A and B are shown apart, each in its own frame.
Chain A
Amino acid sequence: MSSTAPALRARVPRLAEAALERARLTVVPKRKRRRTSPVPFLVVVSMLAVGGIIGLLLFNTSMQQASFAATDLQRQADALQAQEQTLQMQLDHLRDPQAIALKAQRMGMVLPTSPAVLDLRTGKVLGDPTPATRLDPLRLLAPPPAKPAELDPPAHVTVVRTPANHSAKHSPKNSARNTARGSHDGGGRTGTHDHTSHTGHTGNTPTH
């Protein structure tokens, strides 16, 4: 009665021996681990890190550069704006009607008194055209302020009677020359010349 396993096994016909053999579990043979090199990984990571840092640095630098440029340009814009305003101010001063009128008057221009108006539809001249004249010019400048009395004394005039026979000796031409000369001398000496100064003038005449 002792039926042992080997006995049993011996009794079992050996069926599909080969299949059975294949189905048997076995331990996976330990594969030999191949150690890969860490270098590429480190290179990639450090490249990323360094690239990032350099990129950031470059970005930062370029921002700084842009900031410098912005400050510079802003300064330049402010300066140009100020210059534009100053030029505009100068232009406005030049456009001052007073300045234009003074220039025009210096050039000999006058204001028209009564210009003609041409009606282009009828070809008629309207109005009462009269040429402009220099009479009654527009006074453009304010009168100078009045001087204090001390600085504006009344004219000092001395009348000296010349001998009647003296003027008779001179030719009309000569006396005219003397008169002109007298007015050249200015207010202080006008009317004070005597015989001596007459001869002096006559002697000087050719040089005038």
Chain B
Amino acid sequence: MFIALVMSFFGARLVQLQGVEPAKYATLAAETGGTVTVDLPAVRGEILDRNGRPLADSVDGRMVVADPQMTRKSAPQLARFLARRLHIDYFTTLHALSQRHSRFAYVARRVPASLAVRVVNDATAAGYQGLATRNDPLRSYPDHDVAANLVGFMGTDGPLAGLELTFDRQLAGTDGSETYEVGAGNRIPLGHSTVTPAVNGTDLHTTIDEDLQWYTQRVLRQTVLNAAADSGFAIVMDRRTGEVLALADYPSYDASNPTASPAKDRNSLAMTSPYEPGSVEKVLTLSSLIDAGKVTDRTKVVVPPELPSGGHIIHDWFSHPTLHLTLAGVIAQSSNIGTAKASRLFAHGQLRHYLDEFGLGRPTAVGINGETAGIVPTGSQWTGPLQDRIAFGQSVAVNGLQMAAAINTIANGGVRVSPSLIEGSATTNTGQQVGTDRATRHRVVSSNAAAQMTDMMERVVDPNAGTAPMAQVPGYVVAGKTGTAQEVGGPCHCYRTGGMDVSFAGFAPADDPRFTVYVVVKHPRRNIGGGITAGPAFSKIMSFALRRYGVPPTGAQPSHIPTTW
């Protein structure tokens, strides 16, 4: 009888627990311990230079948050403590800590985990209540502005620019999670647990050489500022592999503090902004003409003071009487008239075909977002007067890397190596495979034509015959070409009101080239001229690269091919 009574009480309680309000007790159990689910954040892949040094690197980070209800009383002291330890602004912190009607405030974001935890522990030990840390992944750019225009940067929620954005899918990885039972803060052994491991992001290996990139950026900045120019870029390319060792842009920005610079400074102007290459283009025109068998480096050209072309008249950058220049002289003196006149020997469509082979008008697809393909007129747009202008680099637009790769073709004996910025192979977010594994080679001009062009380009840096003696690299034979192009600009979108773009492209050692360097300075207001503005920058960058890679001087003598007759 008694047992039956007790059992009925048990039965009633069971019905209450399981039948009437089961959900309430389940939640209660989960809250007072039970199971917890923790995110296992995937580590974002690093962006590395060619020697494995990080250009962008992931660090376990925390945010420091506060409960203002608890911190308000001692806000000034705590704010001073935090400002000193976390290097944050005192007044912002004070404001955050003393808010009314709020139970949550950010104190600092993206703090290295060890620092954040130490500071919060110290604050707690000192008697300050109401601080906590939470997960907040931190992306570090140890070199600040070095390669920042290429690497890009991370925003609060994801990548916002550069390689970070282009290769986000590869870099990001997949977050995992772990669910397990806990009691009193400790994991219950043999308790129920499930783990979905995080898949870490894959590192991105670039072909950039950190030190060379840094040096190139510094020389470029000095050059642009000394010339009071708007902007500029410089590219260093390995002649044999087409690997981009440095691609510097100015203006640049600090990737660890991107908002301090205007948005227009944060992308790579070299890759995204098309411009007219000017006289550097003559290298492509004349080497094509040699390859087509129409001329040689010694072909005699009569250069009149001016050359009518369509409704316009072509002038040279310096006024002169009728000159008797060889083709080498046309390059050395950078004569527009001589080049245009020689280019009239091309059959119809021939120059267009060569420029296409040199890679103009097509994106290099190295993995830079928003790369411009440049503009090369086609079909009916291609008229005689237009070809005259294209021959010396007007009416055609390129991006910096296209032009560097085209000049590199001459350095490489007439074989174009497609440029690469990624070591090995990587897939962009749009599914494009890029990298050195995908580099292609094809012959554009004969090795004989390339050799003749190299001889002619060696005359450019000759103090007596050429336009750019300041581009010489002491001890080495340099082949190069200056460029001075009128910018299209102003309200009329014409050449008249624009400034100048000055440039120098070349390679060394000329008899066995190792590097191709291309420097462009846009809209200089002082020292306007490819030879005097871009030439010294070329010389410094090339000299540094040769030294850094231990390229010995070959002991060859520069060509003395005649420039006049």
Contact = CB atoms under 8 A, between A and B. Distances in A.
A95 interface: yes
Contacts of A96: 142-144, 146
Most chain B CB atoms below 10 A, which of A66, A88, A143: A88
B54 interface: yes
B225 interface: yes
Contact of A97 (B57, B187, B211, B547): B211
Interface string B376-414: 000000000000000000000000000000000000000
Interface string B524-556: 000000000000000000011001001011010
Contacts of A129: 475
Given A67-B188, A85-B59, A89-B57, A114 B543 contact: yes
Interface stretch (A13-21, A36-44, A75-83): A75-83
A81 B142 CA distance: 19
Interface in B191-241: 210-211, 214-215, 218-219, 221-222, 225
Contact of B189 (A64, A86, A115, A143): A64
A1 B222 CA distance: 161
A205 interface: no
A113 B543 CA distance: 8
A188 interface: no
Chain A interface main SS type: helix
A114 B187 contact: no
Nearest to B115: A86
Given A68-B186, A85-B113, A92-B142, A138 B543 contact: no
Given A85-B112, A93-B142, A112 B189 contact: no
B83 interface: no
Contacts of A142: 221
B155 interface: no
Given A96-B143, A126-B555, A127-B475, A79 B221 contact: no
Contacts, number: 105
Contacts of B225: 139, 143
A204 interface: no
B514 to A, nearest CB: 13
A70 B211 CA distance: 44
A130 B218 contact: no
B142 A89 contact: yes
A97 B143 contact: yes
A129 B547 CA distance: 12
Given A82-B112, A82-B114, A114-B543, A138 B222 contact: yes
Interface string B140-180: 10111010000000000000000000000000000000000
Given A92-B142, A93-B142, A97-B211, A113 B115 contact: no
B143 A86 contact: no
Contacts of B186: 64, 67-68, 71
Interface string B289-326: 00000000000000000000000000000000000000
A81 B188 CA distance: 24
A98 B112 contact: no
Interface in A112-160: 112-115, 117, 119, 126-130, 138-140, 142-143
A97 B210 contact: yes
A63 interface: yes
11 contacts: A63-B189, A64-B189, A78-B113, A79-B117, A82-B117, A86-B59, A92-B53, A92-B143, A115-B547, A126-B475, A138-B219
Given A86-B59, A112-B547, A113-B543, 11 more contacts: A71-B186, A78-B60, A88-B59, A92-B57, A98-B214, A101-B218, A114-B543, A117-B550, A127-B475, A128-B474, A130-B474
Closest 10 CB pairs of A and B: A92-B142, A127-B475, A82-B113, A114-B474, A97-B214, A128-B475, A86-B112, A82-B114, A83-B114, A63-B189
Interface of A: 63-64, 66-68, 70-71, 78-79, 81-83, 85-86, 88-89, 92-93, 95-98, 101, 111-115, 117, 119, 126-130, 138-140, 142-143
Interface of B: 53-54, 57, 59-60, 112-115, 117, 140, 142-144, 146, 185-190, 210-211, 214-215, 218-219, 221-222, 225, 474-476, 543-544, 547, 550, 552-553, 555
